[in-house]
Amino acid sequence: MLDLAILGLLDENDLHGYELRKRLGDLVGLRLAISFGSLYPALTRLEKHGLITAVSATPVEAPPRSPMSGSLAGELAAFGAQRRAATGIARGTRGKKVYGITDAGRRRLVELLSDPDVSDDRAFPLRVAFCRNLTPADRLALFERRRAELAQRVEQRSRAQSDGRVNAYLRSLRERDHAALAADVAWLDTLIASERAVLAETDPPGGSPT
Amino acid sequence: MLDLAILGLLDENDLHGYELRKRLGDLVGLRLAISFGSLYPALTRLEKHGLITAVSATPVEAPPRSPMSGSLAGELAAFGAQRRAATGIARGTRGKKVYGITDAGRRRLVELLSDPDVSDDRAFPLRVAFCRNLTPADRLALFERRRAELAQRVEQRSRAQSDGRVNAYLRSLRERDHAALAADVAWLDTLIASERAVLAETDPPGGSPT
DNA sequence: GTCATCATGTAAGCCGTTACATGATTGC
DNA sequence: GCAATCATGTAACGGCTTACATGATGAC
């Protein structure tokens, strides 16, 4: 799951570990605040496997680093950054290790997104977050598999539900659970519908008459 | 979390490990299919700590083990539990290790239910499932703490949300996330309301005027 | 010059998993 | 007798956490 998150984010931007973690935090809300203790080893591992690579320079965008965006301070900081670059102390090459994704990494990302197993509730939102890397058809397949998975869970629940000894809290809990599942299915239905629309648009409207 | 589940279930019924696991499965739907590899060591540990104890006999209820239930079979099993060798049918004393909760275990259960930290999304449903072991006031406090936690998450989301570069999938994901949170808050509100009603009933309707 | 923040990393440990090993009971 | 299920356990490992250690940079 961590791999997916890292590859997905690096596919959008070159980033260093610290920044990567921040992005993860507000990516989906997602309750996904990975700790450094797992992030850095993961980065090292991915680099060793050739899926990402350390690119020494340019943190991608002009980093608006501090809230006190007073133009004076900002320009001073920018000036300092250049000076330091000139003198070889440049922030961006020294302490920081900026990573970028490789072609192999991109392939791996698609592979992770295409995994037929959609039962992991934590990972699925991540896969949706980065699913722009899939073809419309594969995206559709992903959503439909997930929908089937959830539908199956609904069915399972309704089967096992009828044991007599349930107190009010248990019942309430089950109702909540059921409602959440139903909402998720409905959400997937909207995703599926819009993906079908995209596919219909891409295909010749007349269709291919065999 | 496992401890909570085990103690909660054993507080309802004496059970052996195998059965315990099955109950966990359909307790809340809850995506909580604990494996034996963690269940049995946990039982051993809890027993060592005196929170549960092995009670050799009586699987609690007449176990409707096979479709050919019939009161006869049930009574034979109950009988056999005491004098097993007589019929050779009873499977309730030999291989099985039936556990029951101790007073210390019950205290521990209440302690776990009362833990002020309500941020664990997996554990919270379990706590609701067993919250009948709390006083109405403590139950109310539990629900309210959880509501506050979720409200805080909502707030957090709405703050971090406004970074420009979000594609359609990310946006959809966030909407889903937000809807799920809102639904959960609404659910807690119903729990809170009904708990308040209980408290109002218990308290003298005149209240204590100060 | 000192403190907060940014930044990277290691070590130990927790909590759970899968895989493996064993054996009793029952149906056929 | 043999297979399926019930039942208990151990061993190895996985993924992530917390705590710890280190150091650079920038604000004041």
Cβ pair B14, B98 in contact under 8 A: yes
Q: What is the pLDDT of residue A80?
A: 36
Query: Is-contact A101 A52, C-beta < 8 A?
Result: yes
- Strand spans (E) along B87-201: 98-101
The one-letter amino acid at A148: A
Provide the pairing of β-strand A15-16 with A98-101.
Answer: antiparallel
Chain A residue with CA closest to B165: the answer is A12
Residues of chain A positioned with their CB less than 8 A from the CB of B165: 12
pLDDT of residue A162: 58
**Mean pLDDT, residues A110-134 taken together:** 94
Helix (H) or strand (E) holding B15: strand B15-16
Q: How far apart are CA B73 and CA B81, in angstroms?
A: 12
Q: Give DSSP secondary structure letters for A118-166.
A: ---TTHHHHHHHTGGGS-HHHHHHHHHHHHHHHHHHHHHHHHHTT-S--
Higher pLDDT, A105 or B156: A105
Q: Residue B84 and residue A7: Cα distance in Å, rounded?
A: 61
Tell me if residue B13 falls in helix, strand or coil: coil
CA of B96 vs C1' of C27, distance in Å? 20
Tokens 């999304």 sit at which residue? Answer: B121
Closest CB to A173 among B28, B31, B180: B28
User: Which of A121, A128, A170 minimises the CB distance to B129?
Assistant: A170
**B132: DSSP letter:** G
Chain B stretch 24-53, residues whose beta carbon is closer than 8 A to a beta carbon of chain A? 25-31
Query: How do the pLDDT tens digits run along chain B, 210 residues long?
Result: 899 999 999 999 999 989 999 888 877 766 778 899 999 999 999 999 999 999 875 444 444 333 333 333 333 333 333 333 333 333 334 568 899 999 999 999 999 999 999 999 999 999 999 999 999 999 999 999 999 999 988 888 877 665 566 789 999 999 999 999 999 999 999 999 999 998 888 776 665 666
Contact B173 A131 (CB under 8 A): no
The pLDDT of residue B31 is 72
Residue of A nearest to B179 (CA): A183
Q: Which residue do the tokens 């539900």 mark? A: A161
Question: Using one digit for the tens of pLDDT, what is the confidence trace for A138-192?
Answer: 999 999 999 999 998 888 887 765 556 678 999 999 999 999 999 999 999 999 9
Q: A119: which chain B residues are within 8 Å (Cβ-Cβ)? A: none
B65: nearest nucleotide, CA–C1' criterion: D6
Contacts 24+ apart (CB under 8 A), B24-31: B25/A160, B26/A160, B26/A161, B26/A163, B27/A170, B27/B126, B27/B129, B28/A170, B28/A173, B28/A174, B28/A177, B28/B125, B28/B126, B28/B129, B29/A153, B29/A156, B29/A157, B29/A160, B29/A174, B29/A177, B30/A177, B30/B125, B30/B126, B31/A121
User: Are residues A129 and B173, on separate chains, in Cβ contact within 8 Å?
Assistant: yes
How sure is the predictor about A85, in pLDDT bands with cuts at 50, 70 and 90? Answer: very low
- Taking contacts as CB-CB distances below 8 angstroms, the residues of chain A near B157 are 29
* A15-69 pLDDT per residue, tens: 998 999 988 887 776 677 889 999 999 999 999 999 999 987 544 443 443 333 3
Question: In sequence order, what are the beta bridge partners of A98?
Answer: A16
Among A12, A28, A172, the residue with its CB nearest the CB of B174 is A28
pLDDT for residue A134 is more than 70: yes
**Two structure tokens written together for A75:** 């320009």
Q: What is A52-71 written as a DSSP string? A: EEE--S--SS-----S---H
Per-residue confidence band for A101, with pLDDT thresholds at 50, 70 and 90: very high
Contact B173 A26 (CB under 8 A): no
Nearest CA-CA distance, residue B15 and chain A, Å:
16
Question: In this predicted structure, what is the pLDDT of residue A71?
Answer: 37
Query: Given a cut of 60, is residue A78 above it in pLDDT?
Result: no
C-alpha B122/C-alpha A122 separation (Å) is 11
CB within 8 Å: A172 and B187: yes
Per-domain boundaries in chain A = 60-94, 135-203
Provide the pLDDT for residue B33.
82
Q: Which residues contact A108 (CB under 8 A, 6 or more apart)?
A: A3, A7, A51
pLDDT-derived band at A74, boundaries 50, 70, 90:
very low
- Residue A101 forms beta bridges with which residues? A52
Using CA atoms in the order A154, A158, A164, A170, what is the torsion angle rounded to 10 degrees?
20
Query: CA B89, C1' C25: Å apart?
Result: 9
Rounded to 5°, the CA angle A23-A25-A26 comes to: 75
